[in-house]
Amino acid sequence: MPYYSSNAIEGRLLKPKIAFRKKKRLIRLSSQRLEVFENNSKEEPISVYDVMGWDVSFSEHLLTIKLSADGKLVMTLQASTYNEYNLWLGRLFKACGARDLEYFYELKEILGEGAFAIVKLAIERGTEEQCAVKVIDKNKAEKLNSKESLNRELDIMIKLCSIPRPRGGRPIPIIEMREIYDLSDRVYIVMEYMQGGTLEDAMMRMALRTERQVRTTMSEIVAAVEKLHSMKIVHRDLKLKNILCTNANFPLEVKIADFGLSNYVRDGSVALKSHVGSPHYVAPEVLKKDCKYGPEVDLWSCGVVLHLMFTGKLQNCFLLWLFCRFLVSFFLVRICSETQLDGLNVDAPGRYPFDGGTIKEILECVARGDFKMDSPAWKLVSEEGKEFLRKLLTVDIRQRMTASDALNHCWMTSDRLTRRP
């Protein structure tokens, strides 16, 4: 898979042998597969080619593109307009592998880093559109015995590209992958750029001040998880850093990203066995010696994310906390038009529901599954919200909600939220 694109293009282009008859053929290009049709793409193609490794030459004056294999001309295509010519020339260059990614994209600053990959901001040449490019070092991945997981990540992202994207309305809350360049020593994954950064970044900039804001954000996360599970995909590393925001202000419109630890679970069976995940977010069943688990682990991680959104302990600047506590005590006013969250409350030493001074202590806390809801922030959370959280952070997977259960829970569907005085 040297090159993959999530979007196929097709159009009626002239071929030289029939150009004098003014007859056009329908040409369709999907990744490296070029198909020629008599009339429309619903019919069987007249010819099918794998263009990887072909040579591309062109004439801007004539709007023609020549494709050659092993030094022999295979076909010449002629566009009707300059824009059509530019579109096909760019896509054919990519499909034929004639250029490196940096011929089409200008790589900018680093957005994030991992063990064997970095994510960079990129600008598409010609359109000036911003996107994110994940650059994976194959040699580092192989040294870390991650080659199999890398191939699986690429396979999963290609499958996610098959999800129909609605035109207008609410987008699917899963990051959109556009292209993959699979080279000998590295892989480039071109994705949509999420200007709001991670959900962690967003919560550092501003607390989700109302429970309804938290609910809106959580509903998008759970909807994405439900979609993954319907495709037999378990994410296994849901956390604030892997949830991206389309913008910096509310509504955030979040999307799930980073499928590096994701895997398939067949027929809904409990079949996964690897001890993977992030310590604060990992589910108790993953920690067992002879662990076998399934999609339920993602719902536990959703519970940890929700806990963080409820308590708002990401805004843990001590001076800011003192200042805001002073303002609250001075004015003694709370706006109660919606259920308010004390996003600046940092009276507990740790920000996570399951925390500790070492990884061992954190995992022991996770295994017990005990968490508290006794800080002042919880007085501002509805009973429905607390029950929803408990049903996510339950150790017994038989009692834990599925993604579908969560979307249909009264906390998600009710117009009114109740609070104890």
Higher pLDDT, 152 or 251: 152
- The winner for highest mean pLDDT among 22-31, 111-120, 233-242 is 233-242
Number of H helices, E strands in the chain: 11, 18
Instruction: Examine the pLDDT at 18 and tell me if it is beyond 70.
Output: no
Q: How far is CA 19 from the centre of its chain?
A: 45
Query: With pLDDT > 90 as the criterion, what percentage of the chain qualifies?
Result: 38
> Which residues, including other chains, have CB under 8 Å from residue 56's CB and lie 6 or more apart?
65, 66, 67, 89, 92, 93, 96, 98
Lowest-pLDDT range, 129-138, 145-154, 163-172?
Answer: 163-172
The rounded distance, in Å, linking the Cα atoms of 421 and 5 is: 55
Instruction: Examine the pLDDT at 241 and tell me if it is beyond 90.
Output: yes
| pLDDT of 168 | 58
257-307 confidence digits (pLDDT tens): 999 899 998 765 567 888 889 999 999 999 988 888 999 999 999 999 999
Is-cis flag, bond preceding 251, omega within 30?
A: yes
Residue 13 phi/psi, 5° resolution?
-120, 145
315-363 confidence digits (pLDDT tens): 443 334 344 444 444 443 332 223 333 322 232 345 789 988 889 999 9
Q: Which helix (H) or strand (E) holds 303?
A: helix 296-311
Average of per-residue pLDDT values in the chain: 82
The residue among 133, 148, 402, 112 whose CA lies nearest residue 276 is 148
| pLDDT of 320 | 45
306, 311, 312, 313 alpha-carbon torsion, rounded to 10°? -110
| pLDDT of 319 | 37
220, 221, 227, 230 alpha-carbon torsion, rounded to 10°? -140
| pLDDT of 150 | 87
Lowest-pLDDT range, 134-138, 153-157, 314-318?
Answer: 314-318
Q: Note if 237 is an active site residue.
A: yes
Q: What is the 3-state secondary structure (H, E, C) of 41-88?
A: CCCCCCEEEECCCCEEEEECCCCEEEEEECCEEEEEEECCCHHHHHHH
As given in the structure block, the two tokens for residue 20 are 């004098």
Compute the C-alpha angle 46/69/95, nearest 5°: 75
Lowest-pLDDT range, 156-170, 201-215, 249-263?
Answer: 156-170
Compute the C-alpha angle 222/302/268, nearest 5°: 65
Compute the C-alpha angle 106/32/150, nearest 5°: 65
Instruction: Examine the pLDDT at 201 and tell me if it is beyond 80.
Output: yes
Lowest-pLDDT range, 12-21, 82-91, 106-115, 122-131?
Answer: 12-21
Q: How far apart are the first and last CA of the chain?
A: 60
Query: With pLDDT > 70 as the criterion, what percentage of the chain qualifies?
Result: 83
Domain architecture of the chain: domains with CATH: 3-97 (2.30.29.30), 103-192 (3.30.200.20), 197-413 (1.10.510.10)
| pLDDT of 17 | 54
Residue 98: pLDDT band with limits 50, 70, 90: low
Query: Sign (positive/negative) of CA torsion 323, 329, 330, 334?
Result: positive
The residue among 34, 31, 43 whose CA lies nearest residue 65 is 34
Residue 247: pLDDT band with limits 50, 70, 90: confident
47-57 confidence digits (pLDDT tens): 899 988 888 88
Q: Are strands 9-14 and 24-30 parallel, antiparallel or unpaired?
A: antiparallel
The rounded distance, in Å, linking the Cα atoms of 234 and 232 is: 7
Lowest-pLDDT range, 7-11, 84-88, 303-307?
Answer: 7-11
| Cβ contact 243:255 at 8 Å | yes
> One of 237, 258, 298, 342 is an active-site residue; which one?
237
Which residues belong to the annotated binding site for ATP? 134
Which residues belong to the annotated binding site? 134
Residue 105 phi/psi, 5° resolution?
-130, 140
Mean pLDDT confidence for 216-236: 95
Mean pLDDT confidence for 383-400: 95
Query: Sign (positive/negative) of CA torsion 286, 290, 296, 298?
Result: positive
Buried b (16+ CB within 10 A) or exposed e, 75-112: bbbbbeeeebbeebbbbbbbbbbbeebeebbeeeeebe
The SS3 of residue 113 is strand
Instruction: Examine the pLDDT at 255 and tell me if it is beyond 80.
Output: yes
Q: What share of the chain is helix, strand, coil (3-state, %, to 5)?
A: 35, 25, 40
Mean pLDDT confidence for 89-117: 84
State the pTM of this model.
0.78
| Cβ contact 73:55 at 8 Å | no
Largest Cα span, the chain: 85
Which amino acid belongs to residue 406? A
| Cβ contact 157:177 at 8 Å | yes
Instruction: Examine the pLDDT at 416 and tell me if it is beyond 80.
Output: no
The rounded distance, in Å, linking the Cα atoms of 180 and 214 is: 34
| Cβ contact 207:310 at 8 Å | no
271-280 confidence digits (pLDDT tens): 788 888 999 9
